[in-house]
Amino acid sequence: MKRIVDSVASRLAFFPPDPPMYEIKPSDSDPNKLLFRWATPGGGKRIVNCECQVLRLQHFKTGCGRTSSAGEICAAWLPHKRQSSLTVLFSHGNAVDLGAVLLFCNELSRDLQCNVLAYDYSGYGRSGGTPSVTTSLSDIRLCYDWLLEQGIPPSKIVLFGQSVGSGPTVDLAAKMPNLAGVVLHTPLLSGMRVLNPNWRYWPSLLDVYPNMRLIAQIKVPVLVMHGTQDEVIDIAHGKELHGLCKRPHTPFWAEGYNHQNLEMAPGYLPALRDFMRHCATRQE
């Protein structure tokens, strides 16, 4: 059954940039510095440095009494310069990798005064393996466990899922009752409802990222953010998910903004700041 689900998902959700949008190179000042590269109008490459700790997180499998490596994913740790009360675990969308989102995550860390851990799914960027629903759920759990190993309790972690990243985010949040909160940026109801929103019936066992079935199990505050002109995932997805939340926070509906520019809306950061304050005060 997992093979069927992953086969469906591969046609719906997983489009890793090829080649990856960044490189990891050692430097004199920081052997783990992450270097981004983007194509420029002239066909060349522009290198931008971002100060962060690059992590190679290992998946392990156990069999016949032995534990062996099952691949690794690439993640980036951006601790805030001040001691922060909250940490964001960021799961990006389907057609990007760390090279496209890490500067945005850096801005989140600065503007929200929080730590951020961002990562690439298996098969994305410099992560090994092949992208699938199964591996993406393992990837976010691997990152979550790393945060716990650093001494960060669940009550200080905010899960942030962007687009397809809402799938792993909702799946994990539904299992973790003591998180600080959850942010869903242009989320989907489920994979099949993005592919064909007019289908009323679809075998639930063959659907992917069934957020609409899982979100009611989330026991912490949830902020849903969506643009009214979203051309990839209609705002109806966000509104229905907001209505299904057990602990909905005031949603952010950005008039005139779409799937690609929601974060540019004037009220985007203020809405996030308000939510982060709410999550922080809950723990006091």
Residues designated catalytic: 163, 230, 259
Query: 36 has which bridge partners?
Result: 22, 48
With both helix axes pointing from N to C terminus, report the angle between 166-173 and 133-149 in degrees, rounded to the nearest 10.
60
Spell out a b/e string for 127-145, using b for 16 or more CB atoms within 10 Å of the CB, else e: bbbebbbebbbbbbbbbbe
Is residue 266 classed as helix, strand or coil in its secondary structure?
coil
> Cα-atom radius of gyration of the chain, to the nearest Å?
18
Joined together, the tokens standing for residue 189 give 């109801």
From 197, 201, 268, select the one nearest 232 (Cα to Cα).
Answer: 197
> Do 241 and 210 contact (CB within 8 A), yes or no?
no
> Do 77 and 147 contact (CB within 8 A), yes or no?
no
CA distances in angstroms from 277 to 23, 117, 203, listed in the order given: 35, 19, 40
> From CA 203, how far away is CA 56, in angstroms rounded?
37
| Residue 258 DSSP code | -
Query: 161 has which bridge partners?
Result: 91, 184
CB neighbours (10 Å) of residue 275? 23
> Do 117 and 83 contact (CB within 8 A), yes or no?
no
